Structure 1
Amino acid sequence: MFTDLDWMTQLAESIRDAEALAERLHLEPETRAALDRLAGSDTLPFRVTPYWLSLAGAGAGPGDPILAQCLPSPREFEPDPDALPDPLGESRHRAAPSLVRQYRSRALLRASGECAVHCRHCFRRTLLPSERGFISPEDQSAVAAWLAERPEIREILVSGGDPLVASDGRVESLLSSLRAARPEATLRVCTRCPSTLPMRFTPGLVGLLRAFRPLRVVTHFNHPRELSPQADEALGNLIDAGIPVFVQTVLLRGINDDPDVLEGLFSGLVRRGAQPYYLFQGDLAPGTAHLRCSLSRGLAIYAELRSRLSGLELPRYAVDAPGGGGKAFLPEDIEGREGDRFILRTPSGGRAYYPADGPGDTKPVNPSARLDSTVGCNPLDSEYTGRG
């Protein structure tokens, strides 16, 4: 059973610089150079928990799928002609302090700018230091007042950063203000803690979340290696309490852009009672080009996944239209191709454009390359017994 001391110790012992990291793993010269350069920049700082590093194992290098999600690369600092400073257009959809409203029926609250692990593919990379704390009581009140006047808002996304790296008291205060403003609304808590800080899901936190139902937890897993015994316990604690868990995954080059890897991840999540929800194409955020799988390759991977996975296991493939056009579903919202860009249809009926190809995407997508001869058997997981 997890305790508050478990997760608080992880955060207190977070690794934030090259010197501390070098005490735990061998640093390649390019990684150390990127860490040093990052320390003097205004972009997303380095942070990782001891738990997350433990998933990589001894002797892992920067290409390891766990380390590649958190270690900075010199390629983050290379020019990217496709990058947008605000790739989701959140600034133009700002409705109240820390609140974004892009759709009529739901709103997103950025409750915190802090995370347990700073993912290098994050699209919110340029938060100011003043934006990295938890939402203030004054801003909570302003958001609650705004929501109370808009009964058409049926769902409130509580996002960040990660809202659950805050104390139980702060989380309870925030959810209480939202529930008082909108008693019937569904709360969607967006957190990567089941993957990066699973010991956060103590009996106290799980009971707190349960008290605010209807509530969903939407989390983020990118690789089967993240499905550790601790993650199993966190997911089980939530699901046993009657809290539905949905999972988003980002398609990342060199990390999970492989049908075998994603098949293992999605089938493993379903067996644990979590629902694969979205497979996201990477956002056009600065410093992330080296991690973005091309859309052409992503479409080929998704086509292969459709032949392998059941309807319960297969998430929706989507991309946030660059510049704030909303979600485009793939491949159905692709209207065509214009030169080196795909034309996307946005929810409002407009158009957006996304690069079709990317450098280095030469690895083939092998159809059913590692499927066992027994239909439905997944060799990535010996416990898997069938597909419904």
Structure 2
Amino acid sequence: MIIDNLKKYKYYSLFALSAINSFRVVFDMIDFSKTGNVILSVVFYIVLAFFVLCSFSEFKKSFLNPIFCLVSGVFVLTFFTMGLGKGNILTTILVLACVRESNIKKVIKIIIIPKAVLFFIYLFFVGVKIIPDEIRGVRKKFGILIERHSLGHSSPNCNFWMLFPCYAGYLFIRKKVAFWELAIHFALFYTLYCLTYCRAGFYCVTILITSYFLYSFFPKAIRNLFSLRIVKYIFIVLCITSLALCLIVKNLGTEELKELTRRYLDGQDLNFWEKLLVKLDLMSSSRILNGAKAIEKYGISLFGQNVDYEMYVDNSFIKLLTSYGVLFTYTLLISMYYTIKKLQNEKETLALIIICIFALYFVFEQVFFNVMDAFIYLFAVSRKKREKLTDKSILAV
């Protein structure tokens, strides 16, 4: 009875979790004293415990839900093999909470809107940083410089992933957006790209807008394209491809690839396969080389291991395999396979477009936790429940 009465407070605690975690990120970014972070961390875990208590009666009915079981398995495996930071705990709990929830309006307010707000808070605090002499071009005029505190150095890159899932969710809910609106959206994202120079996020948004535009004019052709069976395997194919390329470089030798790259840039002749491998690595901004280094140093195991942050790999698949292990990666890939299969059965073409772009994003960024929660609910619930959404006031995300 007590737990049932607490259920009405579940969303208040969820919103509190989002807010606390957002302030923690901002505290890290603007270098406040550690005391503030410690206090926020204590409050975070208190609210987290309260939320779990409020949600327990609902969770215990969910054990037969396959998506719930998959996400729960990922959470348990990660917790016992790697441990989770507060941000990843929040993401996982949000996913678990949303799997069975039928009120889309509340979920959007809790998940998508806070992510958009956090992005602009992030951008604002970065904008007031002191402008270093080495900043050039447009970014110098606006003073945009992200200090990656965990890496210990500065980089003009503004975590575009915070806004990408928000915009994808916006298009998914709107269904119909005029051309002039898309043009304004593109202008906004191009401005953010000039300020932050985050290529991967901007490219994904550009592909999304282009695909949305094509889908508006050629719905049947695009629908047939994304109903192909190969689409279900996109995460699996990209994972195997990323792993294969990194293993090739590992067997070749990372130093050998560096030497081949030097020879290629100097205009020396290489054979076809050497030239192809060098070009692919250059196109990926050395992500293949970095992935090979991580595999060479840590290997791939069933449960993964703690990987030094110096071995930062901007490929989610390689990061999953080295840090979280084969079992974790397999669970995630299978869950995405069944999610795409469900979308194809329901003929949710726009959702398929978004999730395929999300798969490409996996290759270039570590986003498997960061943006997964913005998609999983919208794509996992039934189509009939989504059609009940009529409140237009929430569309201003």
Q: Please, what TM-score do these two structures have when normalized by structure 2?
A: 0.28
Q: Please, what TM-score do these two structures have when normalized by structure 1?
A: 0.29
More helix by share: 2
Larger RCO, structures 1/2 (Cα 8 Å, 6+ apart): 2
